[in-house]
Amino acid sequence: MNVTPKDLLDAGVHFGHQTKRWNPRSKPYVFDHRQGITIIDLGKTHELLAKASAFIEDTIANGGNLLFVGTKRQAQDIVREAATATAMPYCVDRWLGGTLTNFATVKKSIAKFKKYQQMETSGDLAKLPAKEAAVIKREMARMQRNFSGIADMTGLPAAMFVIDGNHEKIAVAEAARCAIPCIGLIDTNSDPTALSHPIPGNDDAVKSIRIIVETIVEAVQSGLAQRESRRTARGQADLRAATAAVAEAAGVTDETGETGGADLGKTEPPADTDPETTEGEEAAKPAAKKKPARKKIAAPKDAVETDAETE
């Protein structure tokens, strides 16, 4: 983040609302009350802006999208330019109730809007009766105001950025109900506890809005760059893994092209086989065991002498 507290001071971010209109919950971010005007502590504003930028950068790097919301007259053009530059969804004309909490129905309406646009492009709309075509064109004009910024949003955003949380209280409430982190520029008349990442500052002056939005855009672009680098690194890792798998299947062990097959000359024969046997011959079977010979029993001496006398 390249913004300093001096830059915030020059842009008039420190000017709050009148003291009679301030919200007591914004007291931790108030520096002083002077001539009936609340002065915002720019040190805390700079610190919270840095935390919000880091959170947005990490969210975008992980593949999420940021929904820009700014329907105030002072913020419409700035928010539209920022969202268009980063290819992020936005809402600047009117917050359509249920955009987040009833996104399934909104998605069907967006599909219908795209169908009408396709009919107009192909020339099928001109073939319809004049009265029916006029009804469809009026409905398309209304849909253009409501869905122009979110026509390409296929799912709920990972985070939302708003200008003036008090003015966009319906959008903030829907984000809280859908458990979507909400970052916003809020003045002293707003409740900072309604947002997950509040940025206290002047939300009525064009200069103040612009410097905060430019900082958020910088964080989004940094997150997109990190996402692309991670995607490239992941693709290279997958390519290396696929190459290694193909090489292993082909029997290649390294980049020199040497085969990784077994060396038959170094293979030792099994312990129970004759090492002199040639390849393809069966090992000799072990010799059959012979039965032990019976021992002859010598005749007793007395019997021998008796036989001799008889003779």
Instruction: Report the CATH number that the domain containing residue 183 is assigned in CATH.
Output: 3.40.50.10490
Res 236 pLDDT > 60: yes
Are both 82 and 165 inside the same structural domain?
yes
Same domain, 151 and 162: no
Do 27 and 129 share a structural domain?
no
* pLDDT tens per residue across span 21-48: 888 888 888 888 888 888 898 999 999 9
Other Cβ atoms closer than 10 A to 187: 25
Spatial neighbors of 75 by CB under 8 A, at least 6 apart, are 92, 163, 164, 203, 209, 213
241 falls within a domain? no
User: Is-contact 216 161, C-beta < 8 A?
Assistant: yes
Q: Residue 20: give the domain boundaries.
A: 5-96+157-231
Tokens 């969210």, residue? 59
Packing angle, helices 103-122 and 130-147, rounded to 10: 130
E-strand ranges in the chain read 15-18, 30-34, 37-40, 66-69, 90-91, 159-163, 182-186, 197-200
Q: What is the CATH number of the domain that holds 131?
A: 1.10.287
The pLDDT value given to residue 235: 80
CA distances from 249 to 210, 242, 245 (A): 58, 11, 6
- pLDDT of 281: 47
Percent of the chain scoring above 90 in pLDDT: 33
Same domain, 79 and 135: no
Phi, psi (rounded to 5 degrees) for 99: -60, -35
Please indicate, yes or no, whether residues 79 and 16 belong to a single structural domain of this protein: yes
More confident residue, 254 or 208: 208
The predicted pLDDT at position 247 comes to 81
Nearest CA among 161, 164, 146, 147 for reference residue 67: 161
Integer Cα distance of 39 and 13 in angstroms: 9
Contact between 91 and 68 under an 8 Å Cβ cutoff? The reply is: yes
Q: What is the pLDDT of residues 180-200, one digit of tens each?
A: 999 999 988 888 889 999 999
Q: How far apart are CA 65 and CA 87, in angstroms?
A: 9
Closest CA to 191 of 29, 8, 9, 6: 29
Question: At what angle are helices 206-250 and 76-86 packed, to 10 degrees?
Answer: 10
Q: What is the pLDDT of residues 212-233, one digit of tens each?
A: 999 999 999 999 998 888 878 8
Tell whether 214 and 167 lie within a shared domain.
yes
